[in-house]
Amino acid sequence: MTSAWPAMNLHRLRPVSLALSGALLTACAGRQSALDPQGPVAERITLFFWIMVSVAGVILALVLILLLAGQFRGWRQRQHRPLTYIQSRNLVIAAGLVMPVVVLLAFSLSSAATDRVLAKPLPADVLTIEVIGRQWWWEVHYLDSRQNRIATTANEIHIPVGRPVRLLLKAADVIHSFWVPNLNGKTDLIPGKTNTSWVQADRPGTFRGQCGEFCGLQHARMAFLVEAQPVAEFQTWLDRQKQPAAMPVDPALARGQEVFLSSQCIMCHSVRGTRAQGRVAPDLTHFGSRQTLAAASMPNSRGHLAGWILNPQGIKPGNFMPPTQLAPDDLSALLDYLHSLR
């Protein structure tokens, strides 16, 4: 436990560790795919997509067959056999005018019908989650029925299976976009505005989401997880998240807390129940219960966390977390403490 994690070694480990992280994410998360819907909204969109693709395929085939057939006619006859004026006119009117009008009318109506699912008004008493996009992570608040924040976490959103969840989407800096392809399409998070969306998962599982609007340097690594849990399990989780962090009793953990509270960490991070009240970086009150680090860039393992604390710029260049110099013992104690925040 007390063995040091020299930053040097971590550098060398990076590609391997990231590959490992990948394996871990696959293990727990399904494909981040719009073609693998796990909730009612995504399901309707996917169905609509397959219908559109089928119709589009027929139209494409029609155009190509007409193109080839017309050529075949000329070559077989070894002479010009162009269409007469009337034939041409009928072709253009039937295929170029009537067909598109009919197809597009059907398309517009069924698109609007599909859209009704997205725009469905939710009952007033559904669970509401406020998501704030920040460069480059997600701040998550659970709200009670009077819109008070009752729990705060980051980069990991737990939802109850089978229940619609309302999302209030905001941004603190630039425009981001909230997107969990398996559950729903994107909605932008725009500073100065509040957008709403909703998701519902039909079965338990972990679904990866990612920022859908270019938001600067680390847009590529601004991901998050949606964890759909059975209702009772979710309620337990939420009750725990509402609590402030427990005071450590173990002296080793107390030492870790001391390291944490005397470091620069508390300038930006907060742990509810301590004097760490920073507001510009993820809330760490229940950090140990989260699966990933740095906006779902790495698994939340001891090794990754050490590397992240010592050299965040080497892992996610340009993010706003400064490197921290720590003695090996201090680091170890800090890691123990952070992972004890469950």
| Residues 14-43 contacting other proteins, CB under 8 A | 15, 18-19, 21-23, 25-26, 31-35, 42
How many chain residues interact with other proteins (CB under 8 A)? 95
Chain positions 298 to 337 lying near other proteins, rule: CB under 8 A, are 317-318
Token duo for residue 264? 């620069």
Told to check if 134 binds other proteins by CB under 8 A, we report no
Told to check if 184 binds other proteins by CB under 8 A, we report yes
Q: Which residues contact 172 (CB under 8 A, 6 or more apart)?
A: 132, 133, 134, 139, 191
Smaller CB distance to other proteins: residue 14 or 242?
14
Told to check if 146 binds other proteins by CB under 8 A, we report no
Told to check if 119 binds other proteins by CB under 8 A, we report yes
State how far the Cα of 133 lies from the Cα of 158, in Å rounded to an integer: 17
Told to check if 107 binds other proteins by CB under 8 A, we report yes
For residue 165, the SS3 value is: strand
Phi, psi for 219 (deg, rounded to 5)? -50, -35
State how far the Cα of 269 lies from the Cα of 271, in Å rounded to an integer: 7
Told to check if 123 binds other proteins by CB under 8 A, we report no
Told to check if 218 binds other proteins by CB under 8 A, we report yes
Told to check if 177 binds other proteins by CB under 8 A, we report yes
State how far the Cα of 98 lies from the Cα of 91, in Å rounded to an integer: 10
State how far the Cα of 266 lies from the Cα of 178, in Å rounded to an integer: 28
State how far the Cα of 139 lies from the Cα of 75, in Å rounded to an integer: 66
Chain positions 34 to 93 lying near other proteins, rule: CB under 8 A, are 34-35, 42, 44-45, 48-49, 52-53, 56, 59-60, 63-64, 66-67, 70-71, 73-75, 77-83, 85, 87-89, 91-92
Told to check if 292 binds other proteins by CB under 8 A, we report no
